[in-house]
Amino acid sequence: MMVQKLLNQFIGAKYITILRTWVPNMVAWGTVGGVAVVHFTDWRLILDYVPYVKGKFLKDE
């Protein structure tokens, strides 16, 4: 409640409701952007940090 009061004081209730409607879109586009970064960059470099996938690529083929 205290956080909401502070946000209402600084931002305003109107903009908080607008932000709440945009949060799911921002999460979805952030996920799409993250997947795109992994896809278009060196995906193996990123996936080396995932334990299950890392064991599959121990040898260079």
pLDDT for 57 = 62
Q: What is the pLDDT of residues 5-55, one digit of tens each?
A: 887 888 888 888 888 899 999 999 999 998 898 888 877 777 777 776 556
Q: Does the predicted model carry a pTM greater than 0.85?
A: no
Say if CB 60 and CB 54 are below 8 A apart: no
Helix (H, G, I), strand (E, B) or coil at 4: helix
Name the domain count of the chain: 1
**Does the pLDDT of residue 3 top 70, yes or no?**
yes
CA 26 to chain centre: 8
Task: Identify the domain containing residue 50 by its residue range.
Answer: 2-57
What is the dihedral angle through the alpha carbons of 8, 9, 14, 16, rounded to the nearest 10 degrees? -40
Predicted confidence (pLDDT) at residue 60 exceeds the cutoff of 80:
no
Question: Quick one: pLDDT at residue 59?
Answer: 63
The whole-number pLDDT of residue 21 equals 93
